[in-house]
Amino acid sequence: MGESREVRKTESRKEKEKKHSLVKKSSGLPVFPTSGLKKLSLPAMAAAFDDFNFNKQVLSAIADAGYTEPTPVQQKAIPPILNGQDVMGIAQTGTGKTAAYVLPIIMKLKYAQGEHARALIISPTRELAMQIEENVVAYSKYTDLRTVVLYGGLGPKTQIENIKKGVDIIVATPGRFMDIYLAGHIHTKPLQVLVLDEADKMMDMGFMPQINRILEIVPRKRQNLLFSATMSDKIHQLAGNFLEFPTVIEVTPQATPAQTIKQKLYYVPNVKTKINLLRRLLDEEDNAITKLIIFCKTRAVAEDVYKYLVRKYNQKEVKVLHANKGQNTRINSINSFKEDEVKILVATDVASRGIDVSNVSHVINFDVPVVYEDYVHRIGRTGRALQAGEAITFCNPTEVYYMGKIQKLIRQTVDVYPIPEGVFIEETPYEEKQDQNREIDLQKRKEDPDFKGAFHEKKTMSQHKKFDAKKLKANPRLGSKNPTKKFKKKH
C-alpha cells in the first residue's frame, strides 16, 4: 500500500515537471505546453494608446510624456498583461518595454489601497531601479498610487520610513529588498504582480539565490512578468520555475541591435592610438556628436579616458560613471547627462543597461566588451525610440576574438572603417605587446586545447632548465662532461 502511494507521488511529480518544462524550438525560444488550453483569437495590433481602453488618467499621463503611438513591444505585451496572463518579453533596450508593463500595472491597481505593496518590480541595478521608479511616477501622476524605490549604497532608514507611510508599487534591487523584508518592514501577502526586469543581467550579476528567495516569500497566486534582452539557458530555467503558461513575446530576434543604429568598427593597435582616434572623432568639423557615451571595460581605463577628456575640455562637459564612485556622484553624473548639462559620459558596463537617456547621438566602445551580450546593451543607449544613432567600436588585436563572437551573436557583420588620415598610429609598447600576445594565446588555447603558443614554449624551456639543475645537484657526476666549466666555477 505504502509502495503504491510512493509510485503515485513519483508519477504526479513527473507529470508536474513535464507540465512546466520548457521545450526549445529551433529559434531558441521556449515553447510552453498548451494542452487543455483554449485557443484564443488574438486581437488586431493597437494603433494608438486609446485602443487599449486605458482610463483618462493614464492616457493623460502618456500624452504629457510626449508619446503618441505604442511601440511594437507595447502593442504585443500590453493586451495579455491587462488580461492577467503571465508574460515573457524578449526585447532589446530602447524599445519601450518599461512602459509595456508599467502602464497595465497602473491600470490594474487604479488607486491607492491599504498600506502594503500590491506590485513588486525587481531590477538588477540601482540606476535601473531609479529609472523605473521615475517612469512609474510619471505615468501615475494623475492617480494617488504610491511608489517607493529600494536600492543599496545608502542607509535604509529613509526607505523604511517611506514604506511605513503606505505603498502600492515597490521598485527594488534584489539585495536591498530582501534586507528590508527580513527586517520585517515589508509584507508580501497583498502582492498581485511580480516583475523581473533585465532578468539576464540579474543572472550575470549572480542574483539567482536572492531571486529564488523572493519567489519563496511572494504569494503563489499572482501575475508574473519577465523581461530580458537576451535568452540564455539560465533564463529558460528561471522561466520554467517562475511563469505559468506565459504569453511569449519577441519583438526582434534576441540579441539584435536596433535597426536605427549605424555600427562602425575600427581596428586599432593599442591604447594610445585609441586615444588619438577618439580625439580625431571629437575634433572633426562635421562631426554630428551631440551627446556621447564612451564605454570602457574597466574602472581604471574609464578613469584614464575621463582624465584625458577633462584636460582636453573641462569638468563641465565630461562626467564619469563607474562602481568606485559614490552613490551621490553617480546620481549627479546621470542627471547632468540627462539634462544636457554635460555632452560626454564615460562609463563602465554598470551604466549600459536600463539608463533611459534620450537623444544620445553616439556610443563609442573604447574597449570591446568581454561579455558579448553587453555589446547589444551598450549600443542600445543610442538609436532609442526610433531615432537614428551611431555606435563606434575600437578593436585592438586581442579584441578581434571577442568582436567575432559578438558578430556571430547579433547575426550581423559590422562594417570596418580605415583609421582616418591624420590619426597618429603609435608604436605598441613592449609590455602592452606582450600582454596582447599572452591574451591571444589564451584565446587560441580556449578554441583548441592542444594549441601550444609561444609563451607555452618559453615556460616549457624554463621548466626544462630547472629540472636539469635539480638533476645535476642530485647527481654531480652528470656535470663531469664539461670539466673546464667545472674548474672555472671552483676557482
One-letter identity of residue 468: D
Give the tens place of pLDDT for each residue, 368-399.
Answer: 998 887 888 888 888 876 678 899 999 999 99
Read off the pLDDT of each residue in 199-211 and give the average, rounded to a whole number: 85
What is residue 17's predicted lDDT score, i.e. its pLDDT? 47
Of 489 and 338, which is predicted with more confidence? 338
Of 167 and 9, which is predicted with more confidence? 167
Residue 295 has, within 13 A of its CA and on its CB side, a CA count of 28
Give the tens place of pLDDT for each residue, 223-281.
Answer: 999 998 777 777 877 888 788 888 988 876 555 676 788 999 999 999 999 999 999 99
Read off the pLDDT of each residue in 462-484 and give the average, rounded to a whole number: 62
Of 470 and 264, which is predicted with more confidence? 264
Q: Are 31 and 25 in contact (CB under 8 A)?
A: yes
What is residue 18's predicted lDDT score, i.e. its pLDDT? 45
Average pLDDT value over all residues in the chain: 82
Give the tens place of pLDDT for each residue, 29-50.
Answer: 444 443 333 333 344 566 789 8
Give the tens place of pLDDT for each residue, 109-152.
Answer: 999 999 999 999 999 988 889 989 999 999 999 999 999 999 98
Coil, helix or strand at residue 151: coil
What is residue 433's predicted lDDT score, i.e. its pLDDT? 93
Provide Rg for the chain, Cα atoms. Answer: 28
Contacts 24+ apart (CB under 8 A), 396-402: 396/267, 396/268, 396/269, 396/270, 396/271, 396/274, 396/436, 397/269, 397/436, 397/440, 398/435, 398/436, 398/439, 398/440, 398/443, 399/367, 399/368, 400/267, 401/440, 401/443, 402/368, 402/369, 402/370, 402/372
What is residue 353's predicted lDDT score, i.e. its pLDDT? 56
Q: Are 266 and 393 in contact (CB under 8 A)?
A: yes
Give the tens place of pLDDT for each residue, 318-368.
Answer: 998 877 676 677 778 888 888 888 999 999 886 555 566 778 999 999 999
Q: Are 241 and 215 in contact (CB under 8 A)?
A: yes
Give the predicted TM-score (pTM) of the model: 0.61
Percent of all residues in the chain with a pLDDT value above 70, rounded to a whole number: 78
Q: CA of 120: how far to CAs of 20, 123, 171, in Å?
A: 23, 10, 6
Name residues whose C-beta falls within 8 Å of residue 377's C-beta, 6 or more positions apart in sequence.
93, 201, 229, 349, 352, 353
What's domain 261-430's architecture? 3-Layer(aba) Sandwich (3.40)
Beta bridge mates, 119: 169, 193
The residue length of the chain stands at 491
CA angle centred on 268, ends 262 and 270, rounded to 5°: 140
Asked if the domains 49-58+65-250 and 261-430 are classified in one and the same CATH topology, the answer is: yes
Give the CATH fold of the 49-58+65-250 domain: Rossmann fold (3.40.50)
Read off the pLDDT of each residue in 434-447 and give the average, rounded to a whole number: 89
* Helix H or strand E encompassing 333: helix 327-338
User: In angstroms, how far is the first alpha carbon of the chain from the final one?
Assistant: 93
CA distance 160 to 313: 42
* Helix H or strand E encompassing 430: helix 430-447
Q: Record the cell numbers describing residue 320, joined without a space.
A: 564619469
Domain map (residue ranges) of the chain: 49-58+65-250, 261-430, 446-490
What is residue 478's predicted lDDT score, i.e. its pLDDT? 58
**The three-state (H, E, C) secondary structure of 253-270, written as one string:** CCCCCCCCEEEEEEECCC
